[in-house]
Structure 1
Amino acid sequence: MAKDDLPEPKRRNRTMSVADVLSGALDPVLKKRGFASRDIIEHWSVMAPKPYDEVAIPDKLSWPRGERSAEGATLVLRCVPGHALAISHEGEKIAAAVNRYFGFVLVGSVRLSAEPFTPGSGKKDDAPFQPSESVIAKVGAQVAEVENEDLREALRTLGHALSTRSERNNG
């Protein structure tokens, strides 16, 4: 197929948030996990009773075989290891809270996943990484001839960041 034969991409003529754009990429993954939409994951902190809103997260929604539209799916939760026993005893309370949020019986029972949940595990350490003296000297020599001071400083910062990233990955 020649480059000229490709269809032009659909233009929406409006601004879109990153969440709206990425939601289309997440929907197929969530459907494989049994979720019809991402509401239960997005609003978990609102619907789950305290303290389970902070120590557990929905992992999967298992529907009875052959009855995709049947009420009473099994909600599988990943939880912080120290809270597994409490969640197993409070399953009915958690199911009732989820059903109350949606206004119909969505969850019939709650089970625990074998995989633990670690709150904040997605956060990255923002500790600044200082470039080595050799990197500072090398980048400084490369940008020394740039006349514009603001441009020279921006290039120096970029050079340090790129060198630092390659040092982190190789080191």
Structure 2
Amino acid sequence: MRRPRAPSPVPLADLIGGLMDPILRRKAGMTSGLVTAWSEIAGPRLQDMTRPEKLVWPARRPDADAFEPATLVVACEAAAALRLQHQTSELIARVNAFFGFAAVERIKIVQKAVRQARPNRRPKLRELGPGDYSRIDDMVARIEDPKLRDALRAFAETTIRRNDG
């Protein structure tokens, strides 16, 4: 008799994509795939300064039988707007290659802040007292090489400043 197999692990990105795709499709008319692949689509010069906002599909007209491509709304930092404007045809080609068909016909540029402020993650350093300096001098007193001694002294000062003791 065979044991039942345990389910194989699923990458978290696949799970989140499955959850987010219906929301993005409803709210922005696109999938999470475009958002996650944006850095590759936009390229190194635009990836940090632009972000796809939504796909605006034209309203279906009863007399039109043909498919009409969408307009991709791209949020862009003011500093990169001119560059994005010059590269729109290339960007449209890359987005269409990503989708596998001519899904986008135009790009609408919306200037807004794209970069998020990064939090300051540097540890707070405390001031060293006279007892700390004498403790550090005792630690490095037997080191003969002056460059090594100075480097170890600086390392010890920083370590003690980061830690509370």
Fold shared, TM-score > 0.5 on shorter chain: yes
1:93 maps to 90
Q: Whose Rg is larger?
A: 2
Is 2:45 the counterpart of 1:51? yes
Residue identity matched to 2:109: L
Cα distance in 1 between the residues matched to 2:118 and 2:21: 23
> Alignment identity in percent?
29
Point out where structure 1 has 5 or more consecutive residues left out of the alignment: 1-11, 131-171
1:29 maps to 23
1:126 maps to 121
2:75 maps to 78
CA deviation after TM superposition for structure 1 residue 13, in Å: 3.6
Cα distance in 2 between the residues matched to 1:94 and 1:86: 11
Cα distance in 1 between the residues matched to 2:11 and 2:82: 40
4+ aligned runs moved over 6 Å, structure 1: none
8 A Cα contact 1:62 1:74, kept in partner? yes
Q: Report the number of matched residues.
A: 116
1:66 maps to 60
Residue identity matched to 1:113: V
Post-superposition CA distance 1:66-111 (Å, at most 9, x none): 27x9342111111122111222233222112222333321110011
8 A Cα contact 2:78 2:111, kept in partner? no
TM-score (norm 1): 0.55
8 A Cα contact 1:59 1:77, kept in partner? yes
TM-score (norm 2): 0.57
CA deviation after TM superposition for structure 1 residue 65, in Å: 1.1
